[in-house]
Structure 1
Amino acid sequence: MASADQLIANLEGLNLNSFANELERVRARDALFEALRKVQTPWDIVWDHNWVNGATNASIKTLIEAGLFTEWAESGGAPKTTTELAELTGVDEVLIKRMLRQISGQQLITETVPDTYKPTPWATALATDPALASCYGEFYAQLNNPMFRSLPYFLKKTGFKNPTDDLAINSEMVGSFHAAMQCHSKYNLTSWCEVYPTDSIVGAKKEGVPLVVDVGDGSLVLQDLPDVVRGMKVDKAISVQGYDFFTPQPVKGARAYFMHNVLHDWTDDLAVKINENIASAMEKGYSRLLIHESLISSAKPLARVTTSDLTMMACLSAKERTESECGQLVESAGLKVVKIWRPPLSVESIIEAELV
């Protein structure tokens, strides 16, 4: 049996650059998390859920609002004492010391010597990626925290029924919501071009017919609601078009109609309607519908997917789906599944469908 000292020594020096590729990093991360759970007592877990997580998130949000991560990065990102960081931000030194101790205890910054800290890649990223920091803003304050706090009480009140009523997002937090979704796509997902063989799309292109229609997010057509695409600047090869996917698809006979994280925002009946509108524009034997979504595995589903599923439920009465459930949405719209492209340990897959 390995001693604690041996185990700790084996983990020393482990970082983001310790792996050959992203797949290996994710495998190691999941194994480390599983190992952590095995050495935690039930109280360790309860303490984390009810005390540590809340205190840490509150500290992070406070320090972001105080400008600490931005000021720290702009000053060069070198190790600093709490006195220096207080002077840099104008925040009360005692307060900043208490906040830094909390996030340091969660290994979010590194204490090099007593009362002196250096930023980690996470802390630096909060300064360099505004969308990442925004996840701790109104998305944190008005959406995630309130909805998950209220969810158990709401479900009890409604007799523990699965929510299916359409919900809407507070218009005041739309910007923060989009920033959070931007981070979800940037850091949590795999590009669809790495999942699906795009040469099969390009190789079958017909002259005078749009090649790819990106629904909801020339020869390339990007579609979204008019207010979203108004003033959008894109490559000249891409045509931007205002479109509501609950209305008939205006681009007919394209080689591929692509949707990324669209259907998981909607209940089953509305998701079928979206698919039907695209199916009505497709050319039999030529057009493809490519649905880029997270899929819930039948065994050991990924935590990132199950978390997203509960987020969709609490936020929009929607959901992530299994392969079978996605297949039913496709078939109900007069389509059939050609193949599901699903890389190992990938959060998202691509469901390829065509007209029956």
Structure 2
Amino acid sequence: MSASMNKIKHIVTNIDQQAKHYENLQDEASRKALIAEAQSLIATLELPREYVQRTVFAEPARNTAAQLAIDLELFEGLVAAGEEGRNSAELAKPGDADPALLFEARILKHLAAMNVVEEIDADVYRGTALSTALTVPKFRDGIPFGLDATGRVFLDIPQYLAENRYRNPVGVSQGPFQYTHKTEREYFEWSIHENPKNGAAFKNYIRGYREGLPSWTRPDFYPAQAELANSLQKNDAILLVDVGGGFGQDLQDFYANNPSFHHASILQDRPAILSSIAPDSLHPSISTMPHDFFTPQPVRGARAYHLHSILHNWDDAHCRTILGHLRDAMTPGYSKMLIFENVVPDRAAHWQMTRLDWLMMATCAALERTERQWRELLGSVGLVVRRIWSVDETTESLIEVVVEGDEEERM
């Protein structure tokens, strides 16, 4: 028996075992393990020519077809059709699209071939769980965000790197994103001033991306009662400062998952973000404060300063500015910094981390960091990693940071 056949048999055995685990447990770990084994089987069986045809042609065409289906509200039409489905003429709104475009090996035909919708008869289509989900903004808008803001950038990266002698992209105003979109604005500024429609799609995409992911605020992820409650004697002590905290979801989750905490926390972000938060929608312990994290931190001596998916948007030089301002505000022996970001393993990194690293390179000329890179970056501004809290290999970790010289005392 050939080595490849032995490998195939081994993978098939693992798939059978993982399927039984998932059937019995219905948990995330067994679900992800089953997907990984199935992907490994495809990678082992697929011929090189099939790989090229799938990745270079079929998958980009699927993404384009999905965008067209969104634009033409085809997925909504399939939801309305129910189990009986509809043909292309029924799905095409008068004047919007030629039925032949929908059927003749075009939009719906290819989406069916790629398992996005189901073809139940000749020119009769039925929705799937996936196509139904793509009617919901938090899932749907990942497609226009990806195709418009980043899809073209990925295509241009080889040429960008060749012209720059294959130097690692550095500098938020001179990276691959700016090269493709002919702008000097960084992505978030571009989405506000030049393409607000894409900015709105990005916000929805982030909501969908984070749904179901483990939150560090859960006591089984990070034991906040043991790690933060000590030394919080004063009633007016500031518990958490969420720096660049957006709409406050992390702080909301923290108080929901840790109801014994009643000390005040502060949500910091740009005025435009904070002004869009509905009055009285935040937990009563949360107040808001406009703040630019490239300027000195006005709240000094808080128990913890929190950064969620902030530093991966910036190169090391910008990160040192952000971290330096927080270090200056921290009280040695008391304050902590809690950084919720990916810690990329040195070996066998999951594709969800490596694809995000490429996304950061494309949009921000930034990166996802390994543990070594985190320790070097933090150490360069007088900070040290006390502990890294993780739950699995696909999601972010909580990096607990203290002022240098403080780590032994606080262990």
TM-score (norm 1): 0.89
- After TM superposition, list the pairs within 5 Å mapping 1:1-356 onto structure 2: 18=23, 20-73=26-79, 75=80, 77-83=82-88, 85-86=90-91, 91-97=97-103, 98-127=106-135, 129-137=136-144, 139-167=145-173, 168-169=186-187, 170-171=190-191, 172=195, 173-186=198-211, 189-194=213-218, 195-204=221-230, 205-206=232-233, 207-217=235-245, 219-233=264-278, 234-235=281-282, 236-356=284-404
Q: Which secondary structure state, in structure 2, belongs to the residue aligned with residue 319 of structure 1? A: coil
Q: 1:152 to 1:83 in 2, by over 3 A?
A: closer
Unaligned runs of 5+ in 2: 174-185, 246-262, 405-411
What is the alpha-carbon distance in structure 1 between the residues aligned to residue 300 and residue 41 of structure 2? 52
The answer to whether the 8 A contact 1:250-1:281 is kept is yes
What is the alpha-carbon distance in structure 2 between the residues aligned to residue 153 and residue 87 of structure 1? 39
What is the alpha-carbon distance in structure 1 between the residues aligned to residue 82 and residue 343 of structure 2? 39
Q: Which secondary structure state, in structure 2, belongs to the residue aligned with residue 77 of structure 1? A: helix
Over residues 241-266 of structure 1, what are the superposed CA-to-partner deviations in whole Å (9 max), with x where a residue is unaligned?
Answer: 11111111111221111111000000
Unaligned runs of 5+ in 1: none
Give the percent of matched residue pairs that are identical in Structure 1 and Structure 2: 28
The answer to whether the 8 A contact 2:268-2:289 is kept is yes
TM superposition shift of 1:71: 3.5
What is the alpha-carbon distance in structure 1 between the residues aligned to residue 84 and residue 312 of structure 2? 43
Q: Which secondary structure state, in structure 2, belongs to the residue aligned with residue 315 of structure 1? A: helix
What is the alpha-carbon distance in structure 1 between the residues aligned to residue 88 and residue 376 of structure 2? 60
The answer to whether the 8 A contact 2:353-2:394 is kept is no
Q: Letter of the aligned partner of 2:224 in structure 1?
A: T
Q: Which secondary structure state, in structure 2, belongs to the residue aligned with residue 304 of structure 1? A: helix
TM superposition shift of 1:212: 1.3
Over residues 39-68 of structure 1, what are the superposed CA-to-partner deviations in whole Å (9 max), with x where a residue is unaligned?
Answer: 100011100121101211111000100011
Q: 1:81 to 1:231 in 2, by over 3 A?
A: closer
Over residues 168-227 of structure 1, what are the superposed CA-to-partner deviations in whole Å (9 max), with x where a residue is unaligned?
Answer: 12231322233333332225x321124322223452233211111111127121111111
What is the alpha-carbon distance in structure 1 between the residues aligned to residue 147 and residue 92 of structure 2? 28
Over residues 258-290 of structure 1, what are the superposed CA-to-partner deviations in whole Å (9 max), with x where a residue is unaligned?
Answer: 111000000001111111111111121221101
What is the alpha-carbon distance in structure 2 between the residues aligned to residue 239 and residue 79 of structure 1? 51
What is the alpha-carbon distance in structure 1 between the residues aligned to residue 387 and residue 214 of structure 2? 18
Q: 2:181 — aligned with what?
A: none
What is the alpha-carbon distance in structure 1 between the residues aligned to residue 294 and residue 74 of structure 2? 44
What is the alpha-carbon distance in structure 2 between the residues aligned to residue 199 and residue 316 of structure 1? 36
Q: Which secondary structure state, in structure 2, belongs to the residue aligned with residue 211 of structure 1? A: strand
CA RMSD, Structure 1 to Structure 2 (Å): 2.4
TM superposition shift of 1:91: 3.8
TM-score (norm 2): 0.78
